[in-house]
Amino acid sequence: MRTLQDRVKEDGVVIDEKILKVDSFLNHQIDAKLMYEVGQVITEHFKDKKITKVLTIEASGIAPAIMASLHLDVPCLFAKKAKPSTMTSEFYHTDIHSFTKNTTSTVVISKQFLNEDDHVLIIDDFLANGEASLGLHRLVKAAHATTSGIGIVIEKSFQPGREKLESEGLEVLSLCQVASLLGNEVKLVGE
């Protein structure tokens, strides 16, 4: 089976110098076996952290998150992009700004599913500016729970996400680190 790195390089489509399209295995069509392996690697890394819950954000974070939760044998919770009817006192909510899409969306999780005893592993498909993961971390803090780590499928290392998360004291594991998309070419860190 081809590795995640091979898939990113061979099947990734460079849209511009900042955006990589991976619709053939992650963001539109999903390669379940590849996601299963992603979940295994993330689980192996965080297995001593006593994780009680995996947290992600709809939609594209769900595939890697559910596989990590399968291997960790804990529930997978996904933050929902809020509709006005969900903005009640039963929900924690936070605003997440996307520099990539130039939009701000409110995301929510039900208070029912996160509490102070939880040790949370945050998972997302992409790490760019870190705003999605920081928003999920704010929801964890609102519940007085603990963020035990962050697992990312594809990190764009030329953007400041990792730096921002690490300066919050968060441990970040990313399975594939893209160094550059310049010249229509995917260059990975270490190449």
Binding residues: 20, 27, 128-132, 156
Among the listed ranges 42-50, 86-94, 106-114, 130-138, the one in contact with ligand G4P (CB under 6 A) is 130-138
**Closer Cβ to ligand G4P, 17 or 44, answer by number:** 17
Among 4, 7, 8, 22, binds ligand G4P (CB under 6 A): 22
How far is it, in rounded angstroms, from Cα 3 to Cα 36? Answer: 12
Among 101, 112, 169, 190, binds ligand G4P (CB under 6 A): 101
How far is it, in rounded angstroms, from Cα 133 to Cα 53? Answer: 15
Least distance between ligand G4P and beta carbon 153 (Å) = 9
The radius of gyration of the chain from alpha carbons, rounded to an integer in Å, stands at 16
Among 161, 170, 174, 176, binds ligand G4P (CB under 6 A): 161
Size of residue set near ligand G4P by CB under 6 A: 23
CB 80 within 8 A of CB 56: no
- For tokens 């730096």, what's the residue? 163
**Closer Cβ to ligand G4P, 24 or 27, answer by number:** 27
CB 176 within 8 A of CB 5: yes
- The binding site for 5-phospho-alpha-D-ribose 1-diphosphate consists of 128-132
What lies within 8 Å, CB to CB, of 167 at 6+ separation is none
Out of ligand G4P, Na ion, none, what residue 127 binds, judged by CB under 5 to 8 A for its kind, is: ligand G4P
Q: What is 54-97 written as a DSSP string?
A: EEEETTTTHHHHHHHHHHHTS-EEEEEEPPGGG-STTEEEEEEE
Interactions with ligand G4P, residue window 27-56 (CB under 6 A): 27
Which residues of the chain form contacts with ligand G4P (CB under 6 A)?
A: 19-22, 27, 57, 59-61, 98-101, 125-132, 156, 161
